[in-house]
């Protein structure tokens, strides 16, 4: 009895820990914070005027100079912008500039301006033809405000000032005038930040010098010499503890610094996670090609916001965990080097970085680690309705939603299952090579997939990226004796999902008994589709997609076809295997027809799966439960019908 109680306590502990791990997924905090923050600013977000002539020119270079009145939360800035006319007869440059910023003066090729509706219009002193250059400068300051919740933050940590920025998706223009639109990367940026001498200032690229000024301040001079989208430009300022180490490139001789700036009291908390960075970078470089900014640095700097933000070469972190470090690092390839061309395609940033987490788990734990991680990401109840492709980017809840992270990762996982390991990673390398330093759309990625796979993938992208939902397969099967040493297997696969596409996918069917197993591969594409197979043993179980390459739900029904005696009583046979890792077989005796419900419950009494609800025919009934996104722990198989209630414990161990 004592051993039994200890076992139950242990299983409860496993369940509680696993649920805590899933519910504390760092991505939820990041999404929640982003959506709340951006929803508060939605009025400003949708005021970016469409009439601005931001498509009439390309920005090639920014110089950004910043000073601060920290006590009053005021920013003083000077911006120089160089660019090229993208069309002839260009006389005006329209920049995005928040109305909370006040222009002090203009210069360069600009001789007059207007500033309203978050647009700074600069009249040029010459008329430009296509590909002719311009150079304009703006000196400005921010208005004093008590609540700093747009683009730039003035806060404190243990009495030390903290100034930090976060501009994704539309907020670079709230702290410096710029072309705050996707589709145009500056070739290079110089960022000069003047702060009190006791503080450190971190930004993108390489720190080329620190100037000690006569007034008790220092100017940190940073240079970014790789193409950069404006939302990835950042500032982070505080009294940081600093350390560095070296990363050695996959070519065997390249190296660069890994640099860390952390609040002093977080040093011991942060180091164990940050020390994983070099190993992660080496692994991802082996899969996708060298770290994109190998001539500069990879920095990680603490800031005053939950989650993380992949600022180019200077990732900002509000907390510390293994998968947060992994995810933000992966953005160096997917998001920073290759950037989504519009927020409609944000899954090309977030889904790729999410799948990197699964790849890191695969490196540590092998195939089972990959499989379990992807199973945990199969949780459509947490996703917004609609397609992975974001139809409406004016609603921030559409942009920053778990669907672009989780389903985006699943799209890549299914592509890997479809194309095979070698072709899949060749796709990623070639896609990155072609769009490095630029922007890409889903169509661009699909084109590269088709080039390597050498087949059309319209059907795949239409259903998984532009379509909605996921398949719920109901598998009905029977085994007949065909001859002395042969069994005939009849399988019906129905897609019973509601409000979603009927999906076309190659599926693996795995049949087994206690000694034998065999596999068949089919292409399922209809609401109900029938298949017939033959094998030399009588299977007692079936698993659809046992290696978990398809985003799905699945339920199973086995109807015995051999003559059998009608059971004398209702009985729920011992489920097997138990404990189980992938699926569990459930067998029920029914002496007569009866309406009922066969379901799975967790320890709290929550129903986690319905195996069948309706009329059960007399005889032996057999099915399987294959958990989708459930935590390890103790569960209950329950059959309820009128006055009948049968219940049995099962243990799921990943």
Sign of CA dihedral 531, 533, 539, 543: negative
Q: For 166-187, what is each residue's pLDDT tens digit?
A: 999 889 999 999 999 999 999 9
Task: Let me know if 587 is exposed, middle or buried by CB neighbors in 10 A (0-12, 13-18, 19+).
Answer: middle
Distance CA 314, CA 338 (A): 16
Please answer whether residues 431 and 439 qualify as being in contact, where contact means their C-beta atoms are separated by less than 8 angstroms.
Answer: no
Whole-angstrom distance, CA of residue 390 vs CA of residue 386: 8
- Per the CB < 8 A criterion, the answer to whether 471 and 503 are in contact is yes
Strand order in the sheet with 90-96: 90-96, 119-128, 110-116
Q: How many distinct helices (H) and strands (E) make up the chain?
A: 12, 35
Q: Is the pLDDT of residue 146 over 50?
A: no
Which domains are present in the chain?
A: 51-336 (2.60.40.1730), 344-464 (1.10.390.10), 472-652 (2.60.40.1930)
- pLDDT score at 29: 66
Q: Is the pLDDT of residue 418 over 60?
A: yes
Give 146-151's long-range contacts (Cβ < 8 A, gap of 24+): 146/73, 148/73, 149/37, 149/40, 149/41, 150/41, 150/44, 150/98, 150/100, 150/174, 151/98, 151/175
Start-to-end CA distance of the chain, whole Å, equals 26
pLDDT band at 20 (very low <50, low <70, confident <90, very high): very low
The answer to whether residues 154 and 161 touch, using CB atoms and an 8 Å cutoff, is yes
Q: Does residue 46 carry a pLDDT above 50? A: no
* Cβ-based neighbours of 209, under 8 Å, separated by 6 or more: 221
Closest CA to 199 of 185, 178, 213: 213
CA gap 510, 489 in Å, rounded: 12
Residue-wise pLDDT for 103-121, tens only, equals: 999 999 999 999 999 999 9
Looking at the DSSP bridge assignments, the partners of residue 155 are: 162
* In the predicted structure, residue 11 carries a pLDDT above the cut 90: no
For 557, other C-beta atoms within 10 Å of its C-beta total 17
Range of lowest pLDDT (30-44, 64-78, 510-524) = 30-44
Angstrom distance (rounded) from CA 570 to CA 560 = 17
Model confidence at 231: pLDDT above 70: yes
* 6-10, 128-132, 273-277: range with lowest mean pLDDT: 6-10
Quote the CA–CA distance of 25 and 377 in Å, as a whole number.
10
| The Cα angle at residue 359 between residues 356 and 362, in degrees rounded to 5 | 155
- Contact (Cβ atoms closer than 8 angstroms) between residue 56 and residue 87: yes
Local structure of 496: helix, strand or coil: coil
């Amino acid at each position: 009895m004592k051993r039994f109680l200890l076992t139950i306590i242990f299983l409860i502990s496993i369940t509680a820990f696993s649920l805590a791990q899933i519910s504390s997924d760092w991505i939820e905090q990041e999404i929640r914070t982003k959506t709340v923050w951006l929803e508060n600013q939605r009025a400003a977000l949708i005021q970016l005027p469409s009439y601005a002539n931001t498509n009439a020119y390309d920005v090639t270079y920014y110089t950004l100079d910043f000073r601060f009145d920290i006590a009053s939360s005021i920013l003083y800035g000077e911006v120089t912008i160089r660019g090229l006319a993208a069309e002839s007869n260009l006389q005006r440059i329209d920049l995005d500039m928040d109305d909370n910023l006040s222009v002090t003066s203009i210069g360069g090729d600009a001789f007059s301006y207007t500033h309203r509706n978050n647009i700074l219009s600069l009249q040029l002193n010459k008329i430009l033809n296509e590909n002719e250059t311009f150079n304009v400068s703006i000196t400005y300051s921010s208005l004093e405000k008590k609540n700093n919740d747009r683009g730039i933050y003035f806060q404190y940590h243990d009495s030390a000032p903290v100034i930090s920025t976060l501009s994704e998706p539309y907020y670079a223009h709230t702290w410096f005038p710029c072309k705050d639109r996707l589709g145009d990367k500056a070739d290079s940026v110089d960022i000069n930040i003047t702060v009190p001498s006791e503080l450190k200032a971190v930004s993108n690229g390489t720190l080329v010098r620190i100037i000690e000024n006569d007034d008790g301040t220092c100017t940190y001079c940073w240079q970014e010499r790789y193409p950069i989208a404006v939302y990835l430009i950042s500032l982070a300022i505080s009294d940081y503890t600093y350390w560095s180490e070296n990363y050695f490139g996959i070519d065997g001789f390249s190296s660069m610094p890994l640099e860390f700036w952390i609040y002093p009291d977080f040093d011991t908390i942060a180091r164990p996670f940050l020390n994983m960075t070099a190993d992660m970078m080496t692994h991802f470089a082996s899969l996708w090609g060298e770290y994109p900014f190998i001539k500069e640095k990879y920095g990680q700097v603490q800031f005053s916001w939950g989650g993380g933000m992949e600022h180019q070469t200077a990732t900002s972190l509000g907390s510390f965990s293994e998968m947060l470090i992994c995810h933000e690092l992966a953005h160096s390839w997917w998001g920073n080097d290759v950037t989504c061309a519009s927020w409609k395609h944000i899954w090309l940033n977030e889904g790729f970085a999410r799948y990197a987490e699964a790849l890191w788990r695969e490196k540590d734990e092998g195939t089972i680690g990959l499989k379990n991680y992807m199973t945990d990401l199969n949780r459509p109840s947490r996703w917004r309705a609609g397609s992975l492709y974001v139809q409406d980017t004016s609603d921030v809840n559409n942009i920053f939603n778990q669907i672009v992270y989780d389903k985006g990762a699943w799209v890549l996982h299914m592509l890997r299952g479809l194309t095979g390991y070698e072709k899949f990673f060749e796709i990623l390398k070639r896609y990155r090579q072609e769009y490095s330093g630029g922007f890409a759309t889903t169509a661009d990625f699909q084109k590269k997939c088709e080039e390597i796979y050498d087949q059309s993938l319209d059907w795949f992208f239409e259903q998984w990226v532009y379509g909605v939902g996921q398949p719920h397969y109901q598998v009905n099967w029977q085994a007949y004796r065909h001859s002395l040493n042969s069994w005939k297997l009849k399988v019906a696969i129905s897609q019973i999902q509601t409000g979603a596409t009927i999906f076309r996918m190659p599926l693996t069917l795995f049949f087994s008994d206690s000694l034998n197993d065999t596999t068949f591969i089919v292409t399922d594409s209809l609401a109900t589709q029938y298949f017939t197979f033959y094998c030399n043993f009588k299977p007692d179980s079936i698993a659809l997609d046992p290696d978990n390459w398809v985003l799905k739900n699945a339920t199973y029904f086995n109807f015995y076809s051999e003559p059998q005696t009608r059971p004398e009583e209702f009985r729920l046979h011992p489920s097997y295997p138990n404990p189980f890792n992938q699926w569990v077989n459930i067998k029920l005796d029914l002496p007569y027809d009866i309406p009922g419900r066969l379901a799975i419950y967790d320890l709290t009494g929550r129903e986690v799966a319905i195996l069948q609800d309706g009329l059960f025919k007399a005889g032996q009934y057999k099915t399987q439960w294959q958990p989708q996104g459930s935590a390890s722990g103790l569960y209950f198989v329950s059959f309820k019908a009128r006055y009948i209630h049968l219940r049995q414990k099962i243990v799921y161990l990943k």
